[in-house]
Amino acid sequence: MKIQAGKVAVITGAGSGIGAALAHACASRGMHIVAADIELDAAERTVKELRSRGSEAVAVEVNVARRDAVQHLAERTREAFGACHLLCNNAGVSVNRPVAECTAADWEWVWSVNVAGITHAIEAFMPMLREQTEASHIVNTASMAGLIPLPGFGAYVASKYAVVGLSEVLHQELADTLTGVSILCPGVVDTQIFASERNRFDGGDTSTQPPAASADTDDGSAMQTDFEETYTRMLSPQEVAEITLAAVEDEQLYVATHPEWLALFKQRSGAIDSAFGGSVAH
Ligand SMILES: NC(=O)c1ccc[n+]([C@@H]2O[C@H](COP(=O)([O-])OP(=O)(O)OC[C@H]3O[C@@H](n4cnc5c(N)ncnc54)[C@H](O)[C@@H]3O)[C@@H](O)[C@H]2O)c1
């Protein structure tokens, strides 16, 4: 989809990190912005900055885990701008805990935001996108954790694999329509993701350790060492936003912002390849 002035971008999680950067990048190209976030103050801060630069923007409080709230977001978008051209399903949270130690509440919370948050938005916005005669695009934010297993992040990884899966299917199903799909898969980005529990609305376990605690755990695997040495290059949210908008314009399905992670992906795909008898060339 061509990013053009006057088109409308709806961005969940627009109060912080990658979402805020996407809002700024879209606004700098003249798009109108619906900045949605569970932290209304943060969304309003983003909107204030955008308006001070002459952009049209509205803030909407939304907990994407709630279907009715996301339906309301679609209604507010229609009222404010009458359309949605770029839907960035960006809001996401992380629990940093080994699979065997994740509680039912951990699984539920991560799934409700990272996966149901996206399916709610697809349900709420698809009627609007289908009605429109202009091109539109959906960006679902997964992660490198949606392509590669990361010890210590099981619930997060499972949710992001689900995002990749549902987005791949959606992409095929929408192939003959005006709506494109991209799956954003960043490595490490300098945001507040590791303080996700600030937005834990289920009152669940708040004892999640910071990421360093997991990285320090010596599980004896080569992957852990590799991760520390190679896979901690941090991009800024602004860099990720620019890469994302370029990918939208190119109609790219997979948006891999950190090429150095390819070796880890190949470990996984190679193992799967072997399970099929190794007949698929990479
Ligand atoms: N930062 C990274 O290293 C990294 C890497 C890969 C993928 N991601 C993904 O990028 C996306 C954006 O995260 P970020 O890194 O900018 O983190 P962030 O914490 O800085 O921003 C996330 C935003 O989502 C909002 N949010 C949280 N729960 C919500 C809910 N239930 N409803 C609505 N909004 C909610 C937060 O208030 C926040 O503004 C997430 O999906 C995350 O999984 C981040």
Rounded mean pLDDT of the chain? Answer: 92
Stated length of the chain: 282
**pLDDT reported for residue 203:** 76
Q: Name the pairing type of β-strands 179-185 and 32-37.
A: unpaired
For residue 225, what pLDDT band results from cuts at 50, 70 and 90? low
**pLDDT reported for residue 230:** 72
Type of residue at 52: S
Q: How many angstroms is it from 13 CA to the middle of ligand 1? A: 6
Q: Mean per-residue pLDDT for 24-53? A: 98
**pLDDT reported for residue 213:** 35
Q: What percent of the chain has pLDDT over 70?
A: 90
**pLDDT reported for residue 227:** 59
**pLDDT reported for residue 279:** 63
pLDDT digits (tens, 9 = 90+) for 174-219: 999 999 999 999 999 999 998 999 999 987 754 544 343 333 333 4
123 sits in which H/E element = helix 116-131
> Has residue 7 got a pLDDT over 80?
yes
Q: Mean per-residue pLDDT for 27-53? A: 98
Sign of the CA dihedral 173, 163, 148, 158?
Answer: negative
Question: Which atom, in ligand 1's list, is nearest to the CA of 196?
Answer: 19
| Gap between the Cα atoms of 92 and 167, Å rounded | 15
194-197 CB contacts, 8 Å cutoff, 24+ apart: 194/94, 194/96, 196/92, 196/93, 196/94, 196/95, 197/93, 197/95
Give residue ranges with CB within 6 A of ligand 1.
12-13, 15-19, 37-39, 42, 62-65, 90-93, 113, 141, 143, 186, 188-189, 191-193, 196, 199
pLDDT digits (tens, 9 = 90+) for 110-132: 999 999 999 999 999 999 999 99
> Has residue 274 got a pLDDT over 60?
yes
Q: How many angstroms is it from 129 CA to the middle of ligand 1? A: 24
> Has residue 226 got a pLDDT over 60?
no
Sign of the CA dihedral 57, 60, 65, 66?
Answer: negative
Q: Which of 37, 148, 255 to mutate to test the pocket of ligand 1 (most atoms within 8 A of CB)?
A: 37
Q: Is 99 exposed, middle or buried (CB count within 10 Å of its CB: 0-12, 13-18, 19+)?
A: middle
Q: Which of 87, 88, 93, 234 to mutate to test the pocket of ligand 1 (most atoms within 8 A of CB)?
A: 93
**pLDDT reported for residue 216:** 38
Q: How many angstroms is it from 7 CA to the middle of ligand 1? A: 24
Q: Map out the domains of the chain with their CATH numbers.
A: 8-275 (3.40.50.720)
Q: Which of 191, 201, 236, 258 to mutate to test the pocket of ligand 1 (most atoms within 8 A of CB)?
A: 191
Question: Which atom, in ligand 1's list, is nearest to the CA of 112?
Answer: 31
Q: Which residues are catalytic?
A: 156
**pLDDT reported for residue 73:** 98
Structure tokens at 104: 């039912």
Q: Are 232 and 264 a contacting pair, CB within 8 Å?
A: no
pLDDT digits (tens, 9 = 90+) for 51-104: 999 999 999 999 999 999 999 999 999 999 999 999 999 999 999 999 999 999
- Render the burial of 152-184: b for 16+ CB within 10 Å, e for the rest: bbbbbbbbbbbbbebbeebbeebeeeebbbbbb
| Gap between the Cα atoms of 92 and 234, Å rounded | 18
What Å distances lie between residue 128 and 2, 124, 159, CA to CA? Answer: 18, 8, 26
Residue with the smallest CA separation from ligand 1 atom 2 is 189
In degrees and rounded to multiples of 5, residue 29 shows phi and psi of -95, 10
